[in-house]
Structure 1
Amino acid sequence: MRYTQRTQPQKPPRARSSAKKMTIQDAIDAYLLHHQATNSQPKTLEWHTHCLGAFRAFCDEASLSPMEDVTTEQAQRWVISLQKAVVTSRGKRSARTVNWYFRSLRAFYRWCLHRGFIEEDVTAWLELPKVEKPLIRILEAEEFERLLVACSVDDLSNRSTGAHHVARNEAILWLLYDTGIRLAELKTTDFDRARGTIIVYGKGRKERKIALGRNALQVVGRYLTYWRQQFPSANEVQQFFLTEQGGITREGIKMLFRRLRLRGGFTDRRVHPHLLRHTFAVRYLMSGGDVFSLQELLGHEDMETIRNYMHLADANVQAQKRKFSPGDQIQLTSRKANRTGFRKAKE
Structure 2
Amino acid sequence: MNININQIPKELFRFKTTGQDTAVKEEITPSPTFLQDAWRRLCKNKGALASMLLLTVIIILAFLAPVIAPYNPNTQNIPHANLPPRIPGISINGLNGRAQLQGKLIDRYALAKVPADRNYLFGTDEFGRDLLSRTLYGTRISLTIAFIAAILDLTIGVFYGLTSALKGGRVDNFMQRILEILTGIPNLVLVVLMLLIFKPGILSIIFALTISSWIPMARIVRAQTLRIRNMEYVQAAVALGSSQVRNAISHILPNIAGIVVVRAMFSIPSAIFFETFLSFIGVGMKIPNASLGTLLNSGYKMFRIHPYQMWIPSIILCIIMLAFNLFADGLRDAFDPKMKE
Q: State the TM bucket, normalised to the shorter chain.
A: under 0.3
Query: Which of the pair is proportionally richer in helix?
Result: 2
Structure with more relative contact order (C-alpha pairs < 8 Å, separation 6 or more):
2
Structure label with greater radius of gyration: 2
Give the TM-score of the pair, scaled to structure 2.
0.23
